[in-house]
Amino acid sequence: EPEVTQTPSHQVTQMGQEVILRCVPISNHLYFYWYRQILGQKVEFLVSFYNNEISEKSEIFDDQFSVERPDGSNFTLKIRSTKLEDSAMYFCASRSRGLDSPLHFGNGTRLTVT
């Protein structure tokens, strides 16, 4: 079964540094998402992306965050200047065209900001 893959599995960075989290969605999927989950808390929506533009974003997704689909396969989340509170698991998800098609998630990147 095709799956969403995320790299790296764990990223450690210093406060103020830029990080790029990478995702390869399922190949025929058209809608792409980033979520995060702070340890012990719920899964929080960050942003959705379709047709090379952001379709929806949450209050968490401020100017420090950006997303990009630089080629036909990768989908990236950039955090410009990391803060301690950005430490979390970041999940990428994708889905196909149908209105009832569910989200398929990767296994996440654990970001630790020191």
Partner 1 sequence: LAKTTQPISMDSYEGQEVNITCSHNNIATNDYITWYQQFPSQGPRFIIQGYKTKVTNEVASLFIPADRKSSTLSLPRVSLSDTAVYYCLVGPGANNLFFGTGTRLTVIP
Residue 55, both tokens: 């379709």
C-alpha–C-alpha distance, residues 7 and 83, integer Å: 20
Contact status: 108 vs partner 1 (CB under 8 A)? yes
Residue selected from 59, 63, 71, 100 as contacting partner 1 according to rule CB under 8 A:
100
Closer residue to partner 1 in complex, CB, 70/102: 102
- Going 7 to 12 to 13 to 15, the CA torsion angle's sign is positive
Contact status: 33 vs partner 1 (CB under 8 A)? yes
Side chain identity at residue 86, one-letter code = D
Write down the least CB distance from residue 50 to partner 1, Å: 9
- Using the CB atoms, write b or e for 60-93: b if 16+ within 10 Å: bbeeebebebeeeeebebebeebeeebbbbbbbb
Residue selected from 48, 82, 87, 94 as contacting partner 1 according to rule CB under 8 A:
48
Write down the least CB distance from residue 67 to partner 1, Å: 15
- Binding positions for partner 1, rule: CB under 8 A: 4, 31, 33, 35, 42-45, 48, 56, 89, 91, 93, 98-108, 110
